[in-house]
Amino acid sequence: MTPRRAPATPTPTRPAPVADLHERVLTWYDAHARDLPWRAPGCSPWGVLVSEVMLQQTPVARVLPRWEAWLARWPAPGDLAAEPPGEAVRMWDRLGYPRRALRLHAAAVAIRDEHGGRVPDDHARLLALPGVGTYTAAAVASFAFGQRHAVVDTNVRRVHARAVTGAAEPAAALTAAENRLAVELLPEDEGTAARWAVAVMELGALVCTARAPRCDACPLLDRCAWVLAGRPAHTGPVRRGQAWAGTDRQVRGKLLAVLRESAGPVEAAVLAGCWADAAQRERCLDGLVADGLVEPLDDGRFTLPRS
């Protein structure tokens, strides 16, 4: 007797609400996405990597001219790797958090020496590059290579918090539950997942903003859990903007500005003119040296790092 064939296992499908979420956000993105050079079809993976590092804690408007200048000077990782790290710090100019420039230089050296000068397309190898963390590795794998990864930045977290969980704001720090939700919301198709990753990010940047969200312009308005709950207020800790005037960050920036603008090493007396408070100035200069952003010379002068 011929055994009866077991019925085929049905192919799992996405729940309709999630499929609807994808369709709405992707349709909105197709109509409203900003025309940014690192999203252009011809942008290299190196260009994507540079953009992702620059965009960390820095607005697009400030990044655009610096990204264009950076890629004009160093169109490939090997071009940057051939220069001393101090040139990366100089080129970084006033983008802020200049250690990112050193990380990009270190990543360029690793790409040249370990990957034949090509940004690796494997997520694990991206994650192993100096200065490349979980977010950046996922972003480059997704945006440069069209792979399926959960790309979770502040904008994405805010959209997920409001549209799906009904909270006004995400937690102060990324949680395991947020990561799980981001993975669960990924479309199954690899290419669609890559588009979804950037589309949700764009929705958070342009519409579902931290302050004064433009709910009336949101494609998820009638299904947003936060809106349906009556837009409850945030009950967690209040996030305050970082001060600038008089802080060590300001002093460090002034010291680096002098070194960037100098064609060679700078006398200590010149740096002393940057800030009246000698104790704070010396503390900040010591911190820059410890961070590898400034190199002290034997003759008492200072320079951007040479190696």
Q: Identify the active-site residue in 52, 87, 202, 295.
A: 52
- Specify whether 114 is catalytic: no
What CATH number is associated with residue 203?
Answer: 1.10.1670.10
How high is the pLDDT of residue 244? Answer: 78
pLDDT at 241: 65
The whole-number mean pLDDT for each consecutive block of 10 residues of the chain, a chain of 307 residues, reads 39 62 97 97 97 95 97 98 97 94 98 98 97 97 97 97 96 94 96 97 97 96 96 82 85 96 95 95 97 97 95
Query: Do 158 and 138 fall within a single domain?
Result: no
| pLDDT score at 141 | 98
The label of the residue with tokens 């620059």 reads 54
Same domain? For 48 and 99 the reply is yes
Query: Domain boundary at 228, 260, 284, which?
Result: 228
For residue 148, being part of any structural domain is answered with no
pLDDT at 255: 97
Structural domain of 297: 248-303
In the chain, how many domains are there?
Answer: 3
**Helix residue ranges per DSSP H, the chain:** 16-32, 45-54, 60-73, 77-81, 85-92, 99-114, 123-127, 134-143, 154-160, 176-184, 190-206, 225-228, 248-261, 268-272, 278-290
Global confidence as pTM: 0.90
d(CA 121, CA 69): 25
